């Protein structure tokens, strides 16, 4: 006869269940962190031979007149790609093109475009790349707010420019390039690559940068969706998440362990294609720079990117930045 006294009580069932869930959570955490370290430290750097490096294939880099875009152009040229530079300022593009041709012995083309005028910019780029075997597209061009600002006070022109540049232009230029990237013009191109720049401003909902934050969050889901769609066409799609980098957009000039310069960040991004690094919970996404990767992983595994705590901290930080920016502008006005 069954002795009912040896069966677990309801309380014991609950305790066993909690223990099981705790062990499962701890196991997942350890495995995820191990995967991060494996991506970061052990996996070899991405190879660009499958994208046609050193075989007369081209890379198109948007927003390439300075900062991250110019560095993507330099480092892809160093890998043997011919470079199409697309940005607003012709003189800057020509200077970078001359530097690249002289240093890396590859060909370049420059297309000076105002990407706020989407139709015109796409038409100009289409003409500029006609006949070229483009195998890499770097969607780098982007715009943020001039300073943190409440959404209700954001000027319409700023809202419109952010959405047109970050979203509408990026989608249109990608749509233009897909048939070329999927083409078989070169026997040396086994795959093609679309790499789109994201931001922690889109990873975490960011008060006082609401329009920019929303535009980057949109790109995250769009890019991941595109990755699944284009896999059969042998087009690799990657979304790159970045915290702060020294640049004109961030207005930060001094590097630190958390804030790399464009050269260091771009090297990590290009080396990490195909790896998630800090973006362990996301598809077709990488957070490539080591300190950004640890920060992303830490937030996701503790408070969570959509938590009240993360949102409150982000709110306080950007409110403080806004106050300091307004005081600085006021001092500058009085000194005039």
Q: How do the domains of the chain map onto residue ranges?
A: 47-328
Give residue 2's pLDDT: 47
Give one DSSP letter per residue of 110-140, joined into a string: EEE--TTSHHHHHHHHHHHTTT--EEEEEE-
Instruction: Give percent above pLDDT 90 in the chain.
Output: 82
Mean local confidence (pLDDT), 283-292: 97
C-alpha 209, offset from chain centre: 17
Two structure tokens written together for 188? 């040396």
Give residue 26's pLDDT: 81
C-alpha 301, offset from chain centre: 21
Mean local confidence (pLDDT), 289-300: 96
Two structure tokens written together for 167? 């979203």
What's the chain's average pLDDT? 93
pLDDT digits (tens, 9 = 90+) for 38-52: 999 999 999 999 999
pLDDT digits (tens, 9 = 90+) for 7-26: 667 776 677 677 777 777 78
* Predicted confidence band of residue 144 (pLDDT cuts 50, 70, 90): very high
Q: Which CATH number fits the domain 47-328, given the four candidates 3.30.565.10, 3.40.1480.10, 3.40.50.720, 3.40.50.280?
A: 3.40.50.720
The CA distances from residue 150 to 155, 192, 253, 323, 331, in Å, are 10, 40, 25, 12, 22
- Would you say residue 306 has pLDDT above 60? yes
Q: Which of 209-213, 290-294, 328-332 has the lowest mean pLDDT?
A: 328-332
Nearest to 56 by CA among 200, 187, 203, 197: 187
Mean local confidence (pLDDT), 59-77: 97
Nearest to 140 by CA among 221, 219, 226: 219
Q: At what angle do helices 170-181 and 210-230 cross, to 10 degrees?
A: 20
Helices (H), the chain: 10-37, 67-78, 90-104, 118-128, 156-163, 170-181, 200-203, 210-230, 262-271, 290-301, 308-335
Q: Which of 72, 104, 208, 212 is catalytic?
A: 212
pLDDT digits (tens, 9 = 90+) for 87-137: 999 999 999 999 999 999 999 999 999 999 999 999 999 999 999 999 999
The CA distances from residue 24 to 10, 12, 30, in Å, are 21, 18, 10
What SS3 class is residue 58? strand
On whether 307 is known to bind a ligand per the annotation, the reply is: no
Which one is predicted more confidently, 137 or 336?
Answer: 137
Q: What gap in Å lies between CA 233 and CA 217, rounded to an integer?
A: 25
Two structure tokens written together for 7? 């069966």
Q: What gap in Å lies between CA 96 and CA 237, rounded to an integer?
A: 26
What SS3 class is residue 224? helix
What SS3 class is residue 54? coil
Mean local confidence (pLDDT), 190-198: 96
Residue 104 bears catalytic tag: no
Reported as type and span, the H/E element at residue 240 is: strand 235-240
């Amino acid at each position: 006869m069954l002795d009912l006294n040896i069966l677990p009580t309801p309380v014991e069932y609950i305790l066993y269940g909690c223990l099981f869930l705790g062990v499962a959570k701890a196991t997942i955490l350890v495995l995820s962190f191990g995967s991060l370290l494996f991506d970061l430290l052990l996996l070899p750097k991405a190879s660009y031979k499958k994208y046609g490096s050193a075989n007369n294939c081209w890379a198109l880099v948007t927003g390439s007149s300075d900062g991250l875009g110019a560095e993507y152009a330099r480092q892809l040229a160093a890998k043997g790609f011919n470079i199409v530079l697309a940005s607003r300022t012709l003189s800057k593009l020509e200077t970078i093109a001359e530097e690249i041709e002289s240093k890396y012995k590859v060909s370049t083309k420059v297309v000076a475009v105002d990407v706020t005028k989407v139709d015109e910019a796409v038409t100009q780029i289409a003409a500029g790349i006609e006949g070229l075997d483009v195998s890499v597209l770097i969607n780098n061009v982007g715009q943020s707010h001039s300073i943190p600002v409440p959404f209700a006070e954001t000027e319409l022109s700023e809202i419109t420019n952010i959405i047109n540049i970050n979203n509408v232009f990026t989608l249109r230029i990608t749509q233009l390039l897909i048939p070329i990237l999927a083409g078989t013009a070169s026997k040396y191109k086994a795959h093609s690559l679309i790499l789109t720049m994201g931001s922690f401003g889109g990873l975490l909902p960011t008060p006082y940068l609401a329009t920019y934050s929303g535009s980057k969050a949109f790109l995250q889901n769009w890019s991941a969706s595109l990755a699944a769609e284009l896999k059969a066409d042998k087009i690799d799609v990657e979304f790159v998440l970045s915290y702060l980098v020294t640049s004109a957009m961030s207005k930060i000039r001094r590097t630190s362990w958390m804030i790399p310069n464009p050269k260091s960040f771009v090297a990590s991004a290009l080396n990490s294609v195909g790896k998630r690094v800090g973006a362990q919970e996301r598809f077709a996404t990488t957070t490539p720079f080591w300190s950004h990767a640890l920060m992303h992983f830490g937030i996701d595994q503790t408070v969570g990117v959509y938590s009240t705590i993360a949102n409150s901290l982000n709110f306080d930080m950007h409110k403080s930045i806004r106050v300091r920016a307004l005081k600085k502008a006021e001092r500058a006005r009085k000194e005039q």
